Amino acid sequence: MAVIRDVMASFELLQPTSIADAHKLLQQHGEDAWVMAGGMDTFDWLKDRIRKPKFVVDLSGIEELKGIRNTNDGIEIGATTTLTEVVKHPIIREKYSLLAEAAELVASPQIRNQGTIGGNVSQDARCWYYRAGWPCYRAGGNICYADTPTGRNREHAILHADRCVAVNPSDSAPALIALDAKFVMRTLRGERIVDAEDYFIGPQIDITRLHILKPGDLLTAIRIPSTWAGARFYFEKIRDRNVWDFPLLNVASAMRVSGNSIENIRIAVNGAAARPLRLKAVEDAVRGKPATAATGEMAGKLAVQGAIPLQFNAYKIPLMRNLVKRAIGGVEEAKWAS
């Protein structure tokens, strides 16, 4: 007789049809509840039997959480809007193509058809020790297995590591930070709106989470203001495989250029730390300077200051330096200059 090993632990499935009902269920069950949107991250945890929630709150039946809407100052994207919808939406492609490009590089078409924008920014770390159930710091233990003499850490952090060296795996997160997006949440105290960059946290704040959502909280929407609509955008993702792969590093930038001078800029990278990083020092350094390879070269060097490589990920330092360089100076100019 065949032995079935890949069996999920039992749970009670709850399927609310409104944000209010979902939030009530999450508040009622607290840490015993698991929020499921597209299920791309959820089913990995459940099938591997690493997470065993008593209740799974399925958001797929809540119409309020779906779709892309115009607002008085930009657009609002429901948290369970699929990545495919984000990629194909005409307004996003016309005015906020940075997000469309980032979302289109997530995984594969099949996964984008099911995965959601809220799930992509809220997914957990992909460190193989953590995902396999090893008792590391992030899982409540007292060691980081990746940061040991025998640890495998090729995909791990070069910046802002604090005990845990796992990185944030989202592709849409740096694009949303560059677009100055706002994340809308339903919490115990009512609606809360935070800047995209403040949605994510590092291990120095809470080593068990990559974002600020606490048990009982619910991400409901992402708002993108018109501030950066139609700006000069750049997105690049480096990965081992062309599809169905998480970033080794990615970069997103939005620039306003007058002539060839950078009037304003927002730039963020992911895959370098436990949270996507907005590079404010780089923004300040290049503002007012020409958008050339020389400026990009200076920015790239500044971006990696303080980087500390592990045994197998030193390649990320020149990689990040060059991604920032290209995001500012352009691919052709950066190639010519190197």
CATH number assigned to the domain comprising residue 294: 3.30.465.10
**How far does CA 104 lie from the centroid of its chain?**
14
Residue 163, CA distances (Å) to 148, 159, 204, 301, 325 in order: 11, 12, 9, 25, 30
Query: Of the candidates 45, 61, 77, which is a domain's last residue?
Result: 61
**89 and 232 part of one domain:** yes
Return d(Cα 299, Cα 284) in angstroms, integer: 10
**106 and 186 part of one domain:** yes
- Provide the angle, in degrees to the nearest 10, between the axes of the packed helices 293-303 and 316-329: 140
**53 and 81 part of one domain:** no
Instruction: Let me know if residue 162 belongs to a domain.
Output: no
Instruction: Let me know if residue 322 belongs to a domain.
Output: yes
Cα angle for residues 236, 209, 224 (degrees, 5° grid):
50
Instruction: Let me know if residue 159 belongs to a domain.
Output: no
Instruction: Let me know if residue 152 belongs to a domain.
Output: no
Query: Of the candidates 20, 44, 61, which is a domain's last residue?
Result: 61
Total domains, the chain: 2
**39 and 101 part of one domain:** no
Give the pLDDT of the chain (338 residues) as one tens digit per residue: 445 556 789 999 999 999 999 999 999 999 999 999 999 999 999 988 899 999 999 999 999 999 999 999 999 999 999 999 999 999 999 999 999 999 999 999 999 999 999 999 999 999 999 999 999 999 999 999 999 999 999 999 999 999 999 999 999 999 999 999 999 999 999 999 999 999 999 999 999 999 999 999 999 999 999 999 999 999 999 999 988 899 999 999 999 999 989 999 999 999 999 999 999 999 999 999 999 999 999 999 999 999 999 999 999 999 999 999 999 998 654 333 33
**Residue matched to tokens 């980032």:** 102
Here the tokens at position 106 are 């997530």
Instruction: Let me know if residue 201 belongs to a domain.
Output: yes
**266 and 199 part of one domain:** yes
**115 and 229 part of one domain:** yes
**52 and 81 part of one domain:** no
Instruction: Let me know if residue 146 belongs to a domain.
Output: no
Query: What is the domain-level CATH number for residue 57?
Result: 3.30.43.10
Instruction: Let me know if residue 217 belongs to a domain.
Output: yes
**46 and 96 part of one domain:** no
Residue 185 β-bridge partners:
192, 219
**How far does CA 254 lie from the centroid of its chain?**
17
**Helix H or strand E encompassing 124:** none
Query: Of the candidates 19, 38, 61, which is a domain's last residue?
Result: 61
**224 and 181 part of one domain:** yes
pTM for the structure as a whole: 0.95
Return d(Cα 245, Cα 108) in angstroms, integer: 8
Q: Are 256 and 263 in contact (CB under 8 A)?
A: yes
pLDDT score at 6 = 64
Q: Are 238 and 247 in contact (CB under 8 A)?
A: yes
**108 and 227 part of one domain:** yes
The counts of H helices and E strands in the chain are 14, 12
Return d(Cα 122, Cα 170) in angstroms, integer: 8
Return d(Cα 273, Cα 307) in angstroms, integer: 10
**288 and 245 part of one domain:** yes
Domain that holds residue 224: 69-122+167-337
pLDDT score at 252 = 98
Q: Are 78 and 84 in contact (CB under 8 A)?
A: no
Return d(Cα 91, Cα 79) in angstroms, integer: 17
**206 and 259 part of one domain:** yes
In the chain, where does DSSP find H-type helix?
19-29, 42-47, 83-88, 90-95, 97-104, 109-114, 117-122, 128-131, 172-178, 196-199, 280-286, 293-303, 316-329, 331-337
Instruction: Let me know if residue 173 belongs to a domain.
Output: yes
